A and B are shown apart, each in its own frame.
Chain A
Amino acid sequence: MEVVSLLVIAFLAVAALAPFLLAPGDPLAIDPLDSFQPPSPAHVFGTDESGRDIFTRIVHGTGASLTIGLAATAIGLGLALVFGLLAGFGPRWLDFGTTRLLEVLFAFPGLLFALLFIVVYGPGVVTSTIAVGLSTAPGYARIIRSRVIQVRTSPFLEASVVLGRSARFRIARHVLPNVAGSLFVLATLGVGQSIVWASSLSYLGLGAVPPAAEWGAMLSAGRTYISSFWWMTFFPGLFIVLSAAATTLLGRAIQQRGRES
């Protein structure tokens, strides 16, 4: 299982960094006569409304799409880290306040927060990436906070006190490394989720737009043609699923290893 997901991730990495190795064509090359072609030996995944080869566009769009996923995850985790650490380490009132804040943020479930953000700042790649990052932050923050509290109240922390270690030492040497471990797993699981959500926003027309060879943009363009030219949306979507599944599996595998080692 992990082997498969590693292979998928390797493929994606190559596609992101050196797309011409896998798809030598030009993702932006228009050929109006060839538009809306179904999958065939010439165009493995068919062509879109301007005759561009979909396979090529998918491969070349990998970098942009993965970047969006990574960026959104980074934003989300970064914010979450700040709040989670504050809540976990700070005095009681800070914890209380942060938890209340998180509760309020949770009342904007799922995409709603992102949509609210987009209402204010308008659609587009950047805003949708930030929006996704912001909406995932509360969930991560809650997990980080409880992990911090769990580690802080562990017996081995007390053993460190008995040895005479200062609070700063304990935090740096014991608490943070133990929290960081979970962080990595969260990140791998989160990248997949962020890619899925960002693409959903793009699908709704609120994210990336053509002619960018980015998966979300392709979805957005293909939206109107679902029933007739399904391949325009199906294949980019397939790659989104593969990326999200591969990163999730990887994250779980790392989690398993961490438990066993």
Chain B
Amino acid sequence: MAGSLSVDLVGAPARSGARGRLIRWALLRAGGVLFVLWAVATVTFFALQLIPGDPAEAILGGPGSQASAEALAAARAEYGLDAPLPVQYLAYLGRLATGDLGTSYALRDDVASVILDVLGPTLLLAGLSLLVASLIALGLAMWSTRGGRVAAAVGSLLEIVAAAVPHFWLAISLILLFSTTLGWLPPVSVPGGLGLVLPVLTLAIPLAGFLGQVMREALLDALDSPFVLAARARGEGDGGVFWRHALRHAAIPAIGLVGWAFGSLVSGAVVVETIFARQGLGRSLLSAVQGRDVPLVIGIVLVVALAYMLVTTLTDLADRVVDPRLKARS
């Protein structure tokens, strides 16, 4: 017996290495984020150089504004538009580094403060929608694993349809149902909780469709697995199996989707804020695009990119907490 053990031994990993690994990971991550931000800023800068027409004209109210030559020259000087391209680019990067996002053409206000004003409501909307979507998805997944084949088919169908529904159409339908016909909820956003219900639902339902599909598959897989059988053989009941084992396994792919979900929510916010006349980043972005307000567009895109990187970093961290195998691997 003693002889057989010698081939068994696997060394226990040293505890002290864990912290060093975490720091190294964090540094690598930060580097990656900075790189992506720089790349995004660069892509945006060069994309905007492609806009036809004279930027100075756009500043003064768009093409056809009949601006005088001196006004144009003054605008050019103020915005540094007559410097050679590389200089403009470096100046641009420099401004970004100090947090100066420029001045909005149309709103005549500091881009940074414009964004800050509208950031809050959008984050609130996105956060609530994510929460509601997760709850709906979890509920759907749980229900369809209990209810047998019919429930599974219905759940699957609901999920597919939910994922195929455009935000604007869902918004209109919900308004029709709850506002026009039933009169329970206001059709546009009003201060206070009620005004949030329809916008949040509009964003949450399609997202719940995607999350639900993923969670349901992972849940079914987990419930069928040998370790669940072993748990039951120890005397674990259905509840214990779900909360202690299956849920965690189902959460892993869902957490992986949160980064993408954030992007989807921001896109959706553009439509939802417009329909419900809510102040927010999306609506501001839309009007900036319609008005070709270049600095504001750049500013919003950069802020969204930064937020996206933060979200993915957080989900990576969350992933490592939920699935400890990842910690060991890196």
Contact = CB atoms under 8 A, between A and B. Distances in A.
Do the two chains touch directly in the complex (Cβ atoms below 8 Å apart)? yes
Interface of A: 1, 100, 103-104, 106-112, 115-121, 192, 196-197, 199-200, 203-206, 219, 226-227, 230, 233-234, 237-238, 240-241, 244-245, 248-249, 252
Contacts, number: 131
A226 B40 contact: no
Given A109-B263, A120-B47, A200 B172 contact: no
Contacts of A197: 166
Interface string B298-314: 00010011001100000
Given A104-B36, A109-B262, A241-B161, A119 B166 contact: no
Residue from the set B44, B176, B187, B262 with the largest chain A CB neighbour count within 10 Å:
B176
B39 interface: yes
Chain A at the B interface: mostly helix, strand, loop or mixed? Answer: helix
A196 B164 contact: yes
18 contacts: A107-B37, A109-B260, A109-B266, A115-B297, A119-B51, A119-B292, A119-B294, A120-B50, A206-B290, A226-B275, A227-B187, A233-B172, A234-B173, A234-B176, A237-B172, A237-B173, A241-B169, A245-B160
Contacts of A219: 168
Given A107-B308, A204-B271, A204-B274, A234 B172 contact: yes
A116 B44 contact: yes
Closest 4 CB pairs of A and B: A109-B263, A110-B267, A237-B169, A244-B164
Chain B at the A interface: mostly helix, strand, loop or mixed? Answer: helix
Contacts of A227: 175, 180, 187
**Chain B interface: which size bin?**
35 or more
Nearest to B168: A203
B229 interface: no
Interface in B250-292: 260, 262-264, 266-268, 270-271, 274-275, 285-286, 288-290, 292
Given A108-B305, A226-B175, A230-B176, 16 more contacts: A100-B35, A104-B39, A107-B305, A109-B263, A110-B264, A115-B297, A119-B51, A119-B288, A119-B289, A119-B292, A192-B164, A197-B166, A237-B172, A241-B165, A244-B166, A245-B161
A1 B160 CA distance: 12
